[in-house]
Amino acid sequence: MSEVIYEGPEAGVVQIRLNRPEKLNALDVGMWKDLCYAVARACDDSTVRAVVFSGEGRAFCSGYDMKQAGSGPSNWLIIDDSVKERSGQYLWLDTVRRLRRPDKIFISAVHGWVAGAGIELAIASDFIVADETARFYFAETRIGANFTSGISKLLPHIVGLGQARRLLLMAEKIGAAEALRIGLVLSVEPAGAHLAAAKQIAERITALPPLAIISEKRLIESGLDTPMAAMQEAEVLTAAWLGHSADAAEASLAFAERREPRWQGR
């Protein structure tokens, strides 16, 4: 039985499910690599516009499998010959960098324990949708380690510097309601309803013009590091480029004809 299940694409959406429920979807080396390759497969498929991550059983992902021989933070930054030609030598870092791609939207549908690598995957996604059972555990400091995957960069942008310090430096455990209050998650759904809600978000996004989504995500990513004046200039230039696209023309025509637009992605 596969420990990472790849389903789709269906209407441009792929679902990647962690399937080691007896271990609360803790990642051993084999499962870790399978997850990385599943993300690469989705990214290499031009028909995929959105990816939804989820977990089978009682948890999304409880982190690293610390019971595996030789486990430990340094052993999870796996060097793999097949990815040495890509930017970033490490398989996992290469994977989370893929989640920043502007041509794909990534959504983590989480429940139960979300810890370690599970939190890293969720925070690197564009959206987190939780059900009411979700428990986020920022455990790395407690075990004498630190988060990777750019969490120290992304988390303060998501929840603010003060909350990021609280979560990371105090090794906090927080529930779904608290995660919603501080802006870590987009929504909290009734138990078991989170996956359907995440798929609805994916469907809403894939119904929108592809070029506009790609441009907006690229601008958001650039804004993490770019001064305001430069971002304003980039927004104006992007808007001018989009205004001359076939999708922009189709939007006007569809509005005039009172019908749904047929996006071409160009």
Domain topology for 4-206? 2-enoyl-CoA Hydratase; Chain A, domain 1 (3.90.226)
Domain range summary for the chain, segments of one domain joined by +: 4-206, 210-257
Residue 187: helix, strand or coil by DSSP?
A: strand
Place of tokens 């059900």: 131
Span 78-105, pLDDT tens digits: 445 454 444 344 788 888 889 999 999 9
Span 129-169, pLDDT tens digits: 999 999 999 988 887 777 878 888 899 999 999 999 999 99
Span 16-44, pLDDT tens digits: 999 999 999 999 888 888 999 999 999 99
The model carries a pTM of 0.84
Task: Please say whether the beta carbons of 117 and 180 come within 8 A.
Answer: no
**Radius of gyration from C-alpha coordinates of the chain:** 19
